[in-house]
C-alpha cells in the first residue's frame, strides 16, 4: 500500500519534471525568452512539481506529513545527486547545496499543506 503511494508520487513528480524541462527547452529553442528567464521558469516549475508530489503524499498520510515530504525529497535528491556525480561527473558547490536544501524543504511544505487539507 505504501509503495503504491510513493510510486504514484514519484511518477507525478517525474511527469511534472519532464514537462517543465520540455517547456524550458521549447522556450529556449524558440528564443521566446532569454536563456536566464527560461532557466528560471524551469527551476520554478521543478519546485512546483516537488510541492505537488509532497502535497499528494500529505493528502494520503495518516500523520506526520512533514516526514512523508522528507522521504520523497530524500529519494529524489539522492537520484539527482547520483545523476550529477555519475553521469555529469560534477562536484558539489555552495549554490548546488542550496538547491538541494530547497529541494528537500519544498516537498516537506507541500506534504504539510496536504495533510492540513485532509478531510477529517
CA distance 87 to 67: 29
Q: Region 89-104: what's the mean pLDDT?
A: 85
The range of the structural domain enclosing residue 6 comes to 2-116
The pLDDT of residue 108 is: 94
The cell numbers describing 77, all together, are 535528491
What's the pTM value of the predicted model, to 2 decimals? 0.85
The pLDDT of residue 118 is: 67
CA distance 43 to 40: 5
Query: Cell numbers 527547452 label which residue?
Result: 25
38-78 pLDDT, tens digit each: 788 888 988 999 999 999 998 888 888 899 899 999 998 89
The pLDDT of residue 120 is: 56
Report DSSP letters for 55-94, one per residue: HHHHHH-SS-HHHHHHHHHHHHHHHHHHIIIIIS-----H
In the chain, how many domains are there?
Answer: 1
Amino acid at each position: 500500500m505504501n509503495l503504491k503511494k510513493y510510486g504514484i508520487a514519484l511518477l507525478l513528480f517525474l511527469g511534472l519534471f519532464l514537462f517543465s524541462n520540455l517547456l524550458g527547452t521549447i522556450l529556449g529553442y524558440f528564443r521566446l525568452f532569454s536563456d536566464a528567464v527560461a532557466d528560471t521558469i524551469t527551476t520554478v516549475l521543478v519546485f512546483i512539481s516537488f510541492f505537488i508530489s509532497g502535497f499528494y503524499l500529505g493528502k494520503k498520510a495518516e500523520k506526520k506529513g512533514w516526514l512523508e515530504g522528507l522521504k520523497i525529497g530524500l529519494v529524489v535528491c539522492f537520484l539527482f545527486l547520483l545523476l550529477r556525480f555519475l553521469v555529469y561527473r560534477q562536484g558539489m558547490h555552495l549554490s548546488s547545496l542550496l538547491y538541494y536544501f530547497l529541494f528537500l524543504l519544498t516537498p516537506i511544505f507541500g506534504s504539510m499543506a496536504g495533510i492540513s487539507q485532509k478531510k477529517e
